[in-house]
Amino acid sequence: MTHFIDGAWREGNNGSFDVFNPATGEAIGQAARGGRAEAEAAIAAAVRAFPLWSASTAYHRSALLYKAHRIMTERAEELARLMSTEQGKPLKAARNEVRYGADFLLWYAEEAKRIYGETIPSARADQRFMVYRQPVGVVAAITPWNYPVSMITRKLAPALAAGCTAVLKPAEATPLCAIKMFEILEEAGFPAGVVNLVTAEDPAEIGEVFTTHPDVAKLTFTGSTPVGRMLAAKAAGNMKRVSMELGGHAPFIVFDDCDPVHAAKGAGLVKFLNTGQACISPNRLFVHRSIAEPFIATLKARTEKMKIGSGLEDGVAIGPLVNEAAIAKIERQVNDALDKGAELVCGGSRATEGDLARGHFFAPTILAGVNEDMLIYREETFGPVAPVILFDNDEEVLERANDTHYGLAAYVYTRDISRAMKMTEGLRFGIVGVNDINPTAAAAPFGGMKNSGLGREGGHEGLDEYLETKLAGFSI
């Protein structure tokens, strides 16, 4: 029983599907195969719950979010181990994600009490204007497999704080993490119908319901750009509000005035985070020609020491990729780059030694001599491949960094504050880390420009996404 609808766990009508450990290929559990009927039932439950929930006090909603935060914190190790098993990321990274996910519950427990309206002066003596902020209604949320816990709280916490009710469909690769999270929300005491979960092996039917159902006021999605564009188009046709956190193609720019060893350490940490399966992962490492040699040497030395394996093994830094399609995409990009003249610094092939042959592993890879003609220069990789591109001056690298349809995250390493400011202002990306490889937090807005998405998650901006603005004019 893996659907959570109207405050109860339910079996689906379409049987179940197996969930696999990507490190071993072994089945680790099952989830119900949901479809249109389950999605419509969950939306109906959210509609019924909305009047009372939206009318509840901010302090009541806050208290439940605080309680969910406490329970999630208490179960952090259980969640992290499940995540490492189901998603594959190293246990240390899984623990970090659980903490990050819990932060959203805490932040929005606080922000729930800060939903303010305003009064506006009128030109008429007998008129008064008041502005209200009210919940948009029923929210449909779709979360990804690469961050299977924190993306749930990053969407649901602000929605619930605002007074919305919600229906969530997790990624088909990681439904078990979502089930555990909804057990926490159930125990925290959210009223029946306020939060609903529908799992599915094939997401298409549920996506169709979410984008066309007249009672869904808003759709929030994290995933690939092609799927996001399709969902946004359908939702727009039905006048639904949308938030889209989509793909990225992040530049990582290393200027000649910084320490190349320090920059290489930072690049390696963020590039291979979650085995490169992160939307803010650097996809193009632009390194000034004068410091390229020590940068590449440091990055190579650190990369070759990375242990590959199951996320539950001690010392593992590189876990499995999500599936065989991810392996095939990386092989295609690497082979294309090598065929067009790139230099293989290290890695470059699937990892199949011993038990690794059972999973979806690819050796952490560095490519030098990458240029604009290669697929990896244009396409998001979503895997452990670091392409190094040389540059000579500021104007050139800014133009090349912006030469992409994506605009989520960018990174700049420099000691020159003037250069840092100019690059931050000139880069067409929603997030810029200056000598900082982790420019994210629950209190900060997260989102991209161009084909990387619409709207923001986190911070007070994340709460705004779930609120309508209503103007009242009073004649007195």
In sequence order, what are the residues at sequence separation of 6 or more whose Cβ sits closer than 8 angstroms to the Cβ of residue 142? 168, 169, 203, 207, 210, 219, 220, 221, 222, 223, 231
CB contact at 8 A, 36 and 206: yes
| Residues 270, 79: Cα–Cα separation, whole Å | 23
Told to judge if 279 belongs to the known catalytic residues of this protein, a careful annotator would answer yes
Tokens describing residue 475 = 């004649």
Per-residue exposure over 416-437, b if at least 16 CB sit within 10 Å of its own CB, e if not: eeebbeebeebbbbbbbbbeeb
| Residues 207, 191: Cα–Cα separation, whole Å | 25
CA angle 275, 375, 347 (to 5 degrees): 40
Told to judge if 164 belongs to the known catalytic residues of this protein, a careful annotator would answer no
End-to-end CA distance of the chain: 57
Three-state secondary structure call for residue 151: helix
Catalytic entry in 164, 177, 258, 279: 279
| Residues 455, 190: Cα–Cα separation, whole Å | 26
Strands 365-368 and 216-222: unpaired
The single residue listed with the structure tokens 């490190």 is 23
CB contact at 8 A, 281 and 273: yes
| Residues 65, 104: Cα–Cα separation, whole Å | 9
Distance of CA 174 to the CA centre of its chain: 14
CB contact at 8 A, 249 and 406: yes
CB contact at 8 A, 333 and 340: no
Q: Could you list the active site residues?
A: 245, 279
